[in-house]
Amino acid sequence: MHTLAIDINCDLGESYGNFTVGNDEAIFPHITSCNIACGFHGGDPLMIEKTIQLALQHQVQIGAHPAFPDLMGFGRQVMQIPFATLKALLKYQISAVKGMVEMAGGTLCHVKPHGALYQVAAVQEEEAKCIAETVAVVGKI
């Protein structure tokens, strides 16, 4: 008999400072994977760490959720960023989450761009290529 599996995925860790976004603790028992904000559209180092711990406790696969540097607009503002700069921004965000996940004993399983970055990459080959190349490089670290 063939068993099917469905991945229930959610964007989490988007609270930062005094701003609460969502209710991550209530969501974790109901999902199988999460995309953790990397600090540019939401999240901060403490929230990233707390979200990683919750994911590990609930055996939820962890992904990085990088964005354009748009905290005030929640990553929904399209930005024209040179390829080299975008690549550095992505390396910075993904590497930070990957490092924190590994220090906590976990594994970064995927990367899902957030908001405007995701939308731009869906229609702009250069941005899509930048994301793919960066994920390949960070995955080797």
The pLDDT of residue 3 is 86
The pLDDT of residue 45 is 97
Q: Tell me: the pLDDT tens digits for 37-63?
A: 999 999 999 999 999 999 999 999 999
84 vs 108: CA distance, rounded Å? 24
**Architecture of the domain made up of 9-140:** Alpha-Beta Barrel (3.20)
The pLDDT of residue 140 is 74
**Interhelix angle 83-103/45-57, nearest 10 degrees:** 50
Using 50 as the pLDDT threshold, list the residues of the chain that sit under it: none
Contact 70, 98 (CB under 8 A): no
How much is the pTM?
A: 0.93
69 vs 75: CA distance, rounded Å? 7
The pLDDT of residue 131 is 95
The pLDDT of residue 141 is 59
| Of 116, 87, 102, residue with least CA distance to 48 | 102
In sequence order, which residues have a C-beta less than 8 Å from that of residue 123 and are 6 or more positions away? Answer: none
Token pair 């921004």 is at which residue? 89
Give phi and psi for 65, each to the nearest 5: -125, 70
With vertex at residue 35, the alpha carbon angle to CA 33 and CA 40, rounded to the nearest 5 degrees, is: 170
Contact 104, 53 (CB under 8 A): yes
